[in-house]
Amino acid sequence: MSYADSNAHHEEGSYFSGPPGMLAKIWQWMTTVDHKKIGVMYLFAIMFMFFIGGVAALAVRYELLDPVRTVQMMDASGEEMTIVTGERLAGLKDIMNARSANEVYNRMFTLHGAVMVFMFIVPSVPASLGNFFLPIMLGAKDVAFPRLNLLSWYIYVTGCLFGVLSILMGGVDTGWTFYTPYSTTTDADHWRVVLMILAAFILGFSSILTGMNFVVSVHKLRAPGMGWFDMPLFLWGVYATSIIQVLATPVIGITLLLLVFERLFHIGIFDPSMGGDPVLYQHFFWFYSHPVVYVMILPAMGIISELIAVHSRKHIFGYRAIAFSSLGIAGVSFLVWGHHIFTAMGELAAILFSGLTFLVAIPTAIKVFNWLATLYKGSIAINTPMLYALAFLFTFSIGGLTGLPLATLATDLHLHDTYYVVAHFHYVMMGGTVVAFMGGIHHWWPKMFGKMYNEKGGMLGCILVFVGFNITFFTQFFLGTQGMPRRYANYVDEFQTLHQISTYGSWIILLGFLVHLGVFIASLISGEKADQNPWGGLTLEWETESPPIEHNFHHEPVVTHGPYDFDKVVPPGWDPKDYPLPANPSSHS
C-alpha cells in the first residue's frame, strides 16, 4: 500500500494500460492491488474452473445415457460369462486409476460438485463482479484492504491447485459433501481425498478474507452523500453475502480440519467405530453449506435488481423491501441447515427445521414480486442482460418453488437424495446464479473491457443455454419423483428415456456456452469501443470511463441522486435528447 504521498499523482490511463513489455505487464498484474485487475483475474480463474466443472458434468451425463446392465450368458463354447454393457466411462478407468467404471462415475460427479461449488459458484459473483464493481459503485478508489484482496486471490488459486492436483492424481469419490464415515475410509491409502478436503479448507480462507474486505468497504467507504439506502441493490446483495461468508465459513474450516485429522490420524470424532458421530459431521457441514447456498444466490439477486431496473429504466419497486429481504435471508439462512438431513435426525428437530425452512422462502418470494412490479410500465429493452434477467425469473422461480416440497417433511422423505433434489438445486444454482452471472457479465462487459459484445450472438447464446438447461433439468424432476436416486451410475431401465433427454439437453447447454465464449473472444479482439454509459445506468460505475481509469474516478464522486431515479435524472454520458424523461415523474422517493 502506498501512503499519503501517492494521493498527489494520479495515473489517468485506463486500468488496463500497463508498463510496456510482456513480462513487466504480467508482473504488474500478478502484484497488483487494484481491485479491478483482481476482479478480472478472478473472472478468468473462475471461468476456467467452471469449464472444468462443466466438462465433468458432461461426462456424468454421458455415462447416464444408458443404464448399465450386467448380463450373464453362454458363449459359443457353452462357457458362462458375464458381460457389462453401457459403461461409457469405462475407458477412463486406467487413466484415473480406478477399480471400476462405477468408480469413475463417482469421481466424476464428486469433481463436478466440488469444483462447481467450492471453486466456481461460491466465489463467482462476489469475487469477480463484486471485486470489480463494489468499490466503484461505492464511489471509492479501492476496497478497504487491497493487499488482503490480492492475498485472497492467491489463496483462491492455491486452493484450486490443490483441487486440480487431486483431480490429476485420479480424483475423489466422496461426493461434494464428504460424508463420514465414507469419506474417511475410502481410498485410505491415497492422498487425494486429503488434498481435496484441504482445497475446500483453503478456499474457505479466501472466501472469509473477501467477505471481510467487502463488509468493511461497505461500512466505511461509501461516497459522500451515499447513505445505506442510497446503495445500489447489487451492493446490498454482496453485503449480505459477505456477512454470511464471514460468519459461516469458519465453521466449515474447523469441520474440514477435523475431517482431515480424522482421516489421517483417526481421531474418532466422526468415526462411529470409536464412538464418534457421523451425524455431527452432517450438522457441521450443513451449518456452513446451507448458508452458502445463499452466498451463491444473494449476489445473483443483486445483479437481477440492477439488470431489471436499468434495462427497463424503472425505479426499482420496493427498494427497502429488497434490501431488507437480503439481510433477512442472510439471517434466517443460519437456522435451517437441518433440512438437508431430515432422514438422519429425530422427529422434533425435523419439525423445527422444516418450519424454519419455510421462513426463508418468504423474503425470496418478496423479491420476485418486486422485480415483476418493477417491469410494470417500464421501457423494457430486449438485449442479452435483460433476456438473462427474464430467464432468471423463470428458472429461479421453478427452482425456488420446487424447494417447497423439499422443505415439507412428508414429501421430503420421498424426494430426499433423488434426482428431484438434483433438479431443484440446478434450477437455483445454474438457473439462478449462473444465469444471473452471465447476465451480469454481459451488462458490465462494456465497462470492464471497454468493448461492446455482439448483441445477436449474446442473445443466441442465452436462448441456447436457457432451452438446453430446461431440457436437461426439467426431466430430472420426473426422474426424482418416479424413484431415481441420485449419485447412481447404473439405473433401472424404466428411467432411460428421461435420462437420454436430459443428456441431449446438456449438449445444447454446451453449445450455448461455446457461442458465448466465441462472442466474448470476438469482442475482446475486435469489439466496438464502448461508451461510458451504454445502457443508461445511474449507479456510479457509469460515471467513469469504460474501462475505468486506474483510480476509478477523476474526482471523488458525490452522490446527488438515487441509484434508480430513472424518471428524474438523465444518465451520465447521455444527451437529454436521447433520453426522454416522463412528463410528470412520480413523487415517491
Partner 1 sequence: MNMPLLASTNMSFLQRIFFGNHGASEAAAWSDGLFMMIFWFSAVCFVILMALMVIFVVKYRRKPGVAAQPSPHHNLNLEILWTVVPSASMLVMFVLGFEGYAMKMVAPDSAMELKVDAWKWAWKVTYPNGASSPETKYISFDDNMLALEAGEADALIETMGLEYPIFYVPEDTAVKLRMHSQDVIHSFWIPEFRTKMDVMPNRYTGYGFQTPKLKSTDMVLDQTTMLDIPGRDMWIFCAEYCGDEHSRMAATLRIVPQEIYEAKIKEWGTPKDPIELGKTIHKTMCAICHSVDGSPGTGPTWKSGNGYGFGYDAALADGTTAPRDANYLRESILDPNAKVVAGYVPAMPSFQGQLSDVEIDGLIAYMQSLSDLGPNQEETNEETPEAADTAGSESP
Partner 2 sequence: MQTTLDADTTPAPAHIANHPLHWRNRGYAHHFKSRDEDFDSSKFGMWLFLTTEVLLFAGIFCGYAVFRMLYPEAWSNGSHYLDWRFGAANTVVLLISSWTVASAVRCAQLNKQKWLQINLVITLLCAALFVFIKIQFEYIPKLGEGKAPGTFFSYAYAQNPYEVLWWSLYYMGTGIHALHVLIGASLLAWVLFRSWKYQAYGPTEYLMVENSALYWHLVDLVWIFLFPLLYLIH
Under rule CB under 8 A, residue 348 binds partner 1:
no
Cβ 309 vs Cβ 333: under 8 Å: no
**Minimum CB distance to ligand HEA, residue 410 (Å):** 12
452 binds, among partner 2, Cu ion, partner 1, none (CB under 5 to 8 A by kind): none
In the window 155-184, what residues touch partner 1 (CB under 8 A)? 173, 175, 179, 181-182
Q: Which of 291, 280, 274 is nearest to 255 (CA)?
A: 280
Q: Residues 165, 223, 368, 467: which binds partner 1 (CB under 8 A)?
A: 368
Under rule CB under 6 A, residue 88 binds ligand HEA:
no
How many CA atoms are closer than 13 Å to the CA of 50, on its beta-carbon side?
Answer: 24
Under rule CB under 6 A, residue 432 binds ligand HEA:
yes
Nearer to ligand HEA, 218 or 297 (CB): 297
Q: Select the span of 1-9, 120-128, 185-193, 343-351 touching partner 2 (CB under 8 A).
A: 1-9
Give 70's strand partners.
84
Q: Select the span of 88-96, 289-297, 390-398, 448-456 touching Cu ion (CB under 5 A).
A: 289-297
**Minimum CB distance to ligand HEA, residue 551 (Å):** 28
**Minimum CB distance to partner 2, residue 6 (Å):** 5
Q: Residues 149, 206, 207, 312: which binds partner 1 (CB under 8 A)?
A: 312
Rounded Cα–Cα distance for residues 264 and 257 (Å): 11
95 binds, among Cu ion, partner 1, partner 2, none (CB under 5 to 8 A by kind): none
- Phi, psi (rounded to 5 degrees) for 250: -55, -30
Cβ 302 vs Cβ 319: under 8 Å: no
DSSP state of 141: S
DSSP string, 528-548: PBPPS-SS---SGGGGS-SSP
Nearer to Cu ion, 337 or 466 (CB): 337
Grouping H, G, I as helix, E, B as strand and the rest as coil, residue 549 is strand
589 binds, among ligand HEA, partner 1, Cu ion, none (CB under 5 to 8 A by kind): partner 1
Rounded Cα–Cα distance for residues 523 and 459 (Å): 14
107 binds, among partner 2, partner 1, Cu ion, none (CB under 5 to 8 A by kind): none
Q: Residues 80, 95, 147, 575: which binds partner 1 (CB under 8 A)?
A: 80
C-alpha torsion sign, points 326, 327, 328, 331: positive
Q: Select the span of 75-83, 273-281, 358-366, 381-389 touching partner 2 (CB under 8 A).
A: 273-281
Rounded Cα–Cα distance for residues 265 and 275 (Å): 15
Q: How many Cβ atoms from other residues are within 10 Å of residue 348's Cβ? A: 8
Cβ 476 vs Cβ 419: under 8 Å: yes
Give 69's strand partners.
85
Nearer to Cu ion, 290 or 451 (CB): 290
Show the cell assigned to 446.
Answer: 462494456
**Minimum CB distance to partner 1, residue 474 (Å):** 12
Under rule CB under 8 A, residue 558 binds partner 2:
no
Nearer to Cu ion, 290 or 311 (CB): 290
In the window 326-355, what residues touch ligand HEA (CB under 6 A)? 339-340
347 binds, among partner 1, ligand HEA, Cu ion, none (CB under 5 to 8 A by kind): partner 1
Max CA separation in the chain (angstroms): 92
Under rule CB under 8 A, residue 337 binds partner 1:
no
Q: Answer whether the bond into residue 181 is a cis peptide, omega within 30°.
A: yes
**Minimum CB distance to partner 1, residue 100 (Å):** 6
Sequence-distant (6+) residues with CB within 8 A of 21 are none
DSSP string, 73-85: EE-TTS-EEEEEE
Rounded Cα–Cα distance for residues 258 and 237 (Å): 32
Q: Which of 205, 220, 216, 215 is nearest to 241 (CA)?
A: 215
Rounded Cα–Cα distance for residues 359 and 338 (Å): 14
In the window 123-162, what residues touch partner 2 (CB under 8 A)? 135, 140-146
Under rule CB under 5 A, residue 290 binds Cu ion:
yes
In the window 385-414, what residues touch ligand HEA (CB under 6 A)? 397, 400-401, 403-404, 406-407, 412
Rounded Cα–Cα distance for residues 117 and 296 (Å): 9
Under rule CB under 8 A, residue 313 binds partner 1:
yes
Nearer to Cu ion, 192 or 290 (CB): 290
Q: How many Cβ atoms from other residues are within 10 Å of residue 312's Cβ? A: 21
Show the cell assigned to 481.
Answer: 419423483
Measured CA to CA in angstroms, residue 581 lies from 318, 378, 538 at distances of 21, 12, 14
Q: Which of 119, 120, 104 is nearest to 173 (CA)?
A: 104
Q: Residues 1, 23, 74, 95: which binds partner 1 (CB under 8 A)?
A: 74
Q: What angle do CA 219, 220, 224 make, to 5 degrees?
A: 110
Nearer to partner 1, 131 or 475 (CB): 475
Given the rule CB under 5 A, which residues bind Cu ion?
290
Given the rule CB under 8 A, which residues bind partner 2?
1-7, 135, 140-146, 208, 212-213, 215-217, 219-221, 246-247, 249-251, 253-255, 257-258, 261-262, 265-269, 274-277, 280, 284, 556
Given the rule CB under 6 A, which residues bind ligand HEA?
47, 50-51, 54, 57-58, 60-61, 109-110, 112-113, 116-117, 120-121, 175-177, 293, 296-297, 339-340, 357, 360-361, 364-365, 368, 397, 400-401, 403-404, 406-407, 412, 416-417, 421-422, 424-426, 428-430, 432-434, 472, 486-488, 506, 509-510, 513-514, 516-517, 520
